[in-house]
């Protein structure tokens, strides 16, 4: 991959990093706000509050997971490994990278991994 395309993906990943970091911080702040909220009147209110707080925590965890994947992709760029399948060593198509800039595997290897593990067990790549 040439330097111009690599820079394109680096900038795209940095923008995604900012977005997901902000989202994680926002979800954490919302969860804390829910935990500190006054006005709980009965068990139903408390139960609803617990559910809302759990949703915000899970959203924050998901965003944090995206942040980790993006940081790893940026590390691969710095190490000269970006766009190379971690399984077979072949180039990952730019079309796939455009759709999923954090992809670690080419489409063929990703399909094999999902077939072996099952799609519900396969991490977001």
- Distance (Å, rounded) from C-alpha 45 to C-alpha 49? 6
Contact 101, 13 (CB under 8 A): yes
Angle at 56 between CA 15 and CA 45, to 5 degrees: 155
The tens-digit pLDDT sequence of the chain (125 residues) is 899 999 999 999 999 999 999 988 888 887 777 777 666 566 666 676 778 878 887 888 888 899 999 999 999 999 999 999 999 999 999 999 999 999 999 999 999 999 998 655 555 54
Domain parsing of the chain, residue ranges: 1-81, 83-125
The structure's pTM equals: 0.74
Residue with tokens 């180039």: 91
pLDDT for 13:
97
- SS3 category, 86: coil
């Amino acid at each position: 991959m040439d330097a111009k395309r690599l820079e394109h993906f680096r900038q795209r990943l940095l923008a995604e990093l900012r977005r997901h970091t902000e989202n994680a911080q926002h979800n954490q702040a919302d969860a804390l706000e829910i935990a500190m909220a006054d006005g709980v009147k009965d068990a139903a209110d408390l139960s609803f509050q617990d559910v809302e707080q759990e949703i915000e925590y899970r959203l924050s965890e998901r965003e944090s997971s995206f942040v980790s994947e993006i940081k790893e992709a940026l590390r691969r760029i710095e190490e000269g490994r970006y766009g190379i399948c971690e399984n077979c060593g072949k180039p990952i198509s730019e079309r796939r990278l455009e759709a999923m800039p954090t992809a670690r595997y080419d489409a063929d290897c990703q399909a094999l991994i999902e077939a072996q593990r099952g799609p519900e067990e396969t991490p977001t790549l």
